[in-house]
């Protein structure tokens, strides 16, 4: 499709009562604060920076893309963490930007009597809240209206007199909340369960002024996840089995798969299936590869990078879209003595989900 769109296209697009759906990432634990506010402050160390970028359907000329960037800090004396999250999406001439602050509080079995657990917290539970603002706008530089055309095509330098959408670039409040629960069966086996609700206040993100605000409210995005991890430093390999379910209005999807890790080099390879609950809409196989670029020195910081590629399955689907790709990055840094006031430091990331000893 030509990059320029006629008036009739935007009119039809705005007239349809479509409810927006949030993007989901194939490597959600490389952007944990986006996945669930309860992951705030739950990096390998106390300070974490993460960024992820997704390019959807490479062969589509409108360059659909999504990104999220976050920074969060664990405060030992408060048994909780604070964080900031920024999101951006580009879907042709539609753009969306979000800015959020989050807070999470953690309790665990190690806070009351660590000695009873052999100085190893056996479980933790984190609850998080997120508050911010979102903006949805039309990029008019990608549109051409009827009064900018003549028999020869687009009139060079022409400016349309068409009215702009009333609510384009309007900021609106947005609330989210989430929970995580982690249980260590022993030093090698762990189970992580989580759930979150985004857009609890169901903000009206309509681009046009209308009395029927209910039909333009952003639906709540419900997310549930489970991950089992087996880790044994004395063996060459570790593995995780995970599943995530998303539901938002009438859209339901899930992701399930496994990731294996070579412990010596800390390189992980994952294979996943992504699809809709009814198996009749979008589905794809995903391959992920991540590596700890800082090695296994453990000298107070870790740098992890991940790549992913989705290959839609079904007749001719991949030939039409050439799939989707992601690049994720997480930097964890220690800024204090981990042994001080740190009996209940949670970890929720791509590699593990356990309190630090």
Task: Write down the domain spans for the chain.
Answer: 38-333
Q: Given this model, what pLDDT does residue 149 score?
A: 72
Q: Given this model, what pLDDT does residue 258 score?
A: 95
For tokens 């687009």, the residue is: 154
Q: Which residues of 167-178 are buried (b: 16+ CB within 10 A; e: fewer)?
A: bbebeeebbbbb
Distances (CA, A) of 91 to 42, 65, 85, 117, 342: 31, 7, 20, 51, 43
Task: Give the whole-angstrom CA distance, residue 221 versus residue 202.
Answer: 10
Task: Give the whole-angstrom CA distance, residue 297 versus residue 302.
Answer: 9
Distances (CA, A) of 17 to 27, 126, 137, 350: 31, 37, 17, 37
In 185-220, at which residue ranges do the beta strands (DSSP E only) sit? 189-198
Q: Given this model, what pLDDT does residue 39 score?
A: 94
Domain 38-333, second-level architecture: Beta Barrel (2.40)
For tokens 């294996």, the residue is: 260
Q: Given this model, what pLDDT does residue 32 score?
A: 93
**Whole-prediction pTM value?**
0.84
pLDDT in tens, the chain (357 residues): 343 443 334 333 433 433 457 888 999 989 999 999 999 999 888 899 999 999 988 887 768 899 999 999 998 888 889 999 999 999 888 899 999 999 999 988 754 444 455 555 578 899 999 999 999 888 777 777 666 676 666 767 667 666 677 777 789 999 999 999 998 887 788 899 999 999 999 988 777 765 555 557 889 999 999 999 998 777 889 999 999 999 988 888 899 999 999 988 889 999 999 887 655 556 889 999 999 887 665 677 889 999 999 988 865 577 777 889 999 999 998 887 654 445 577 887 655 444 443
List all residues 6 or more positions away from 134 whose beta carbon is below 8 Å from its beta carbon: 96, 97, 98, 171, 172, 174, 203, 205
Q: Given this model, what pLDDT does residue 70 score?
A: 97
Cβ atoms 101, 87 nearer than 8 A: no
Q: What is the DSSP string of 31-82?
A: SHHHH-GGGTT-SSSSEEEEEEEEEE-TT-TT-EEEEEEEEEEEEGGGTEEE
Q: Given this model, what pLDDT does residue 212 score?
A: 53
Q: Given this model, what pLDDT does residue 153 score?
A: 67
Task: Give the whole-angstrom CA distance, residue 132 versus residue 173.
Answer: 6
Cβ atoms 31, 22 nearer than 8 A: no
Q: Given this model, what pLDDT does residue 356 score?
A: 40
Q: Given this model, what pLDDT does residue 270 score?
A: 95
Q: Given this model, what pLDDT does residue 14 score?
A: 37
């Amino acid at each position: 499709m030509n990059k320029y769109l006629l008036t009739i296209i935007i009119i039809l697009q705005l007239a349809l009562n479509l409810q927006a759906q949030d993007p989901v990432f194939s490597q959600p634990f490389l952007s944990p604060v986006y996945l669930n506010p309860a992951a705030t402050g739950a990096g390998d160390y106390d300070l974490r920076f993460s960024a992820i970028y997704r390019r959807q359907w490479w062969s589509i000329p409108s360059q659909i893309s999504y990104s999220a960037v976050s920074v969060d800090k664990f405060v030992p004396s408060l048994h909780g963490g604070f964080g900031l999250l920024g999101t951006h999406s580009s879907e042709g001439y539609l753009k969306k930007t979000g800015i959020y602050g989050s807070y999470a509080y953690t309790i665990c079995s190690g806070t009351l009597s660590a000695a009873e657990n052999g100085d190893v917290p056996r479980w933790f539970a984190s609850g998080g809240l997120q508050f911010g603002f979102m903006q949805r706008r039309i990029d008019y530089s990608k549109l051409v209206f009827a009064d900018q055309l003549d028999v020869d095509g687009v009139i060079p330098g022409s400016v349309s007199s068409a009215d702009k959408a009333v609510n384009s670039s309007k900021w609106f409040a947005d609330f989210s909340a989430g929970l995580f629960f982690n249980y260590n069966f022993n030093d090698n086996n762990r189970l992580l369960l989580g759930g979150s609700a985004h857009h609890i206040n169901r903000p009206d993100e309509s681009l046009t002024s209308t009395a029927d605000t209910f039909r333009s409210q952003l639906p709540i995005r419900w997310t549930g996840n489970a991950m089992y991890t087996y880790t044994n430093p004395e063996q060459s390999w570790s593995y995780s089995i995970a599943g995530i379910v998303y539901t938002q209005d009438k859209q339901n999807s899930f992701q399930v798969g496994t990731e294996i890790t070579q412990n010596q080099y800390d390189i992980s390879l994952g294979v996943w299936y992504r699809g809709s609950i009814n198996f009749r809409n979008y589905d794809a196989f995903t391959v992920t590869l991540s590596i700890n670029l800082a090695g296994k020195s453990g000298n107070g910081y870790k740098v992890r990078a991940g790549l992913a590629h989705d290959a839609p399955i079904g007749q001719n689907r991949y030939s039409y879209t050439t799939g989707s790709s992601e690049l994720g990055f997480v930097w964890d840094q220690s800024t204090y003595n981990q042994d001080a006031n740190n009996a209940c430091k949670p970890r929720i990331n791509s590699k593990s989900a356990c309190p630090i000893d």
